[in-house]
Amino acid sequence: MQRRNLFKLGLGSLGIMSTAELVHAQEPSESKTNKFDFIVIGAGAAGMAAAIEARSLGASVAVLEKALRPDGNTFYASGRLCGVGSRYQKETGDTLEKFVNDAWHETQGVGDKKVIEAFAKESGPSIDWLIDMGVPLTLKKGLPAPNLSRAFFMTTDGTTGGSILMRRLLKKAKDDGVKLFVNTKAFELITNPDGDVIGVKAKTPEGVKSFMAAKGVIIATGGFSANEEMRVMYMGPWAARLNLRGSMRNTGENILMTRPLGAKLVNMTEFYAGPIVPETHANPARVSNSAYGMIVGKDGKRCVDESLGQAIRSKLLPQVTPDNRTFIICDIKTNDEDNILTKLLDRFKRLNSPVYEANTIAELAKKAGINEKNLVASVKEFNEAIAKNKGSELEPPHNRKKPHPVSTAPFYAIPMSGGIAATFGGPKINEHAQVVDLDDVPIKGLYAAGNAAGGLWYAEDIPGCQITSGVAMGRIAARHAITGK
C-alpha cells in the first residue's frame, strides 16, 4: 500500500486531516516565550497519554508536534495492546511476576527489570483507563506464549486500530484543555545553570520560540527508524538497506536533543523488525510466519532459516542479501493453513502488490526475475531434505518442527524485504521515566517514553507491549513530574 493510501486509511478516514475537534491546533501567538507546567514533545500515544495524565492533575500542558498533524508510528499500528492486572484479567491466573519475567526474557535479560516492572504495574490500569476513554479493546484469552491472556485487540471500522486509539486520545486531550501546537519542531532543550531541563526551543512558522516548563519536559518523539544516517551509525552499513514500515517522522530527535545533556544512550543497535513489500507496503507476514514455503534471494538460493521468528528473520534479510530483496517460494498447499495463501493473494491484489504464479519452478523463476538454475536446484534440495527429515542439515538450516515441501503446483513467489518499524534504543530511563546521565543520575526535569526512551526493550518485546508501555510510561512520567511521586 502506498504511504498516501495508508495515510488516507489511518488519518483521512478518521477526519483528522480536516476535523478541528481532533487536531485542536493553537493559534499563533506574538510572544516568543510560552509558559506551561508540562511540555510534551511528540503527539503519539505516549505523548498524548502523558499530556492527558498531567492535565488531570491540574497542570497546564502543551504538546509540540513537528508535523501539520500527528503522524507517528501509532497511526500505522494494528492497535494490539498487552498487559497484566486489568479488571478484565482477574480470572486468568496471570501475575505481575510472571509477566515481568516473560517480558524480561523477551529482552534476552538486557532490559532494565525495574523499568519493566514499573511498566507492568501500570499496564493493566492503563488499559482500563483507555477502555474507559472509549477505546474499543477486547481481551483475547488463550493465545500462544508469551501473549497468553494478555493481549487486547481493537475493534476496528476498517481503519487501523492505532488510528482509532489516537482519535480517542486527541479528543480526550482537547476536551481536557491540553494545548496542541502543530508545525512546531522542538530542536533544543533549555537548561538552567544547574543543568536542570526547564524548557524547549522550537521552530514555528513565526520563527524560533521558547516553551518553558515549570514541572518538566517529556520526549515522546519516537525513535530514529526513519533516519538512515543514524541507523548506519549505530547498527552498521547494512541498516541502510532496511525498508521503513512505520512513520517517516521518527528521525531521532530523542537522540539529538538529549545527547548534548550527557544522557546515557542504550540499546542503540536494537529495533523491531518485520517483513514488508517496500513499493506497496503490503505485509506478507501471515505466509512468511506459516509452516509453509522457503525464502530465497534473487540469486535463487535460500538465505535464512525460515523457522526463525519474524523479527529475527527480518533483521537478517538485509544482512545476508546484497539488496534486501527476497521471495517466499511456496505452493498451493499453503492454503491448508487457514487458507492463508488465498487471503494474501486477495489482499495483495487490492494493494496492487505483485505475486508471481506458475505451474513449474523454472517458469516461476522467469516470471519473478529469479536465477532459474539456482531456484530449481534449491527447491529440489529443500524437498529432498524435508522428505528425509534432514532440514536441519541444510545450509542455512530449516528447523521447522513440521516442515512442508514445495511440490504441488501452482507455485508462487511473494516478494519480501526486511523492514524496520521502530527502534528500541535511546536515552535510558529509570522506573519514573526520568532520563538518566552516564552515571545513572536522573536529569532533573527530563522524561522520555515510548520508542523515544531506551532501557525498556532489547531484541524483542511481548507483542502489543510497545504501545502499552508508551502509554504506561507516559502516565508515570506525568505523575512524577507534577506530583513528585
Q: Where are the domains of the chain?
A: 3-226+424-483, 274-420
pLDDT of residue 24: 56
- Of all residues in the chain, the percent with pLDDT exceeding 70 is 94
- What is the C-alpha to C-alpha distance for residues 54 and 449, in angstroms, rounded to an integer? 14
Kindly tell me the sign of the dihedral angle through the C-alpha atoms of 193, 479, 171, 128. Answer: positive
Tell whether domain 274-420 is in CATH 3.20.20.140.
Answer: no
User: Residues 57-77: what's their mean pLDDT?
Assistant: 94
- Could you write out the three-class secondary structure of the chain? CCHHHHHHHHCHHHCCCCCCCCCCECCCCCCCEEEEEEEEECCCHHHHHHHHHHHHCCCCEEEECCCCCCCCHHHHCCCCEECCCCCCCCCCCCCHHHHHHHHHHHCCCCCCHHHHHHHHHHHHHHHHHHHHCCCCEEEECCCCCCCCCCEEEECCCCCCHHHHHHHHHHHHHHHHCCEEECCCEEEEEEECCCCCEEEEEEEECCEEEEEEEEEEEEECCCCCCCCHHHHHHHHCHHHHHCEECCCCCCCCHHHHHHHHHCECEECCCCEEEEEEECCCCECCHHHHCCCCCEEEECCCCECCCCCCCHHHHHHHHHHHCCCCCEEEEEEHHHHHCCCHHHHHHHHHHHCCCCCEEECCHHHHHHHHCCCHHHHHHHHHHHHHHHHCCCHHHCCCCCCCCCCCCCCCCCEEEEEEEEEEEEECCEEEECCCCEEEECCCCEEEEEEECHHHCECCCECECCCCHHHHHHHHHHHHHHHHHHHCC
CA distances from 61 to 39, 54, 201, 217, 414 (A): 6, 7, 16, 10, 48
Tell me how crowded residue 144 is: count the other CB atoms within 10 A of its CB: 6
User: Residues 77-86: what's their mean pLDDT?
Assistant: 95
Kindly tell me the sign of the dihedral angle through the C-alpha atoms of 385, 388, 393, 399. Answer: positive
- What is the C-alpha to C-alpha distance for residues 467 and 471, in angstroms, rounded to an integer? 6
Report the chain's mean pLDDT, rounded to a whole number.
Answer: 94
pTM strictly above 0.85: yes
Domains 3-226+424-483 and 274-420 share a fold: no
Residues in the chain: 485
Q: Is the pLDDT of residue 20 over 80?
A: no
Nearest-CA neighbor of 38 among 205, 150, 178, 151?
A: 178
Digit-coded pLDDT (tens) for 193-236: 999 999 999 999 999 999 999 999 999 999 999 999 999 999 99
Digit-coded pLDDT (tens) for 149-158: 999 999 987 7
Digit-coded pLDDT (tens) for 127-176: 999 999 999 999 999 999 999 999 999 998 778 899 999 999 999 999 99
Note if the bond before 396 is cis, omega within 30 degrees.
yes
Note if the bond before 410 is cis, omega within 30 degrees.
yes
Q: Is the pLDDT of residue 86 over 90?
A: yes
CB 81 within 8 A of CB 124: no
Q: Write out the three cell numbers for 154.
A: 481493537
Q: Is the pLDDT of residue 5 over 60?
A: no
Nearest-CA neighbor of 118 among 478, 482, 476, 479?
A: 476
User: Residues 265-271: what's their mean pLDDT?
Assistant: 98
Looking at domain 3-226+424-483, which of 3.30.360.10, 3.20.20.70, 3.50.50.60, 3.30.420.40 is its CATH number?
Answer: 3.50.50.60
- What is the C-alpha to C-alpha distance for residues 237 and 230, in angstroms, rounded to an integer? 10
Digit-coded pLDDT (tens) for 227-254: 999 999 999 999 999 999 999 999 999 9
CB-count exposure of residue 400 (10 Å: 0-12, 13-18, 19+): middle
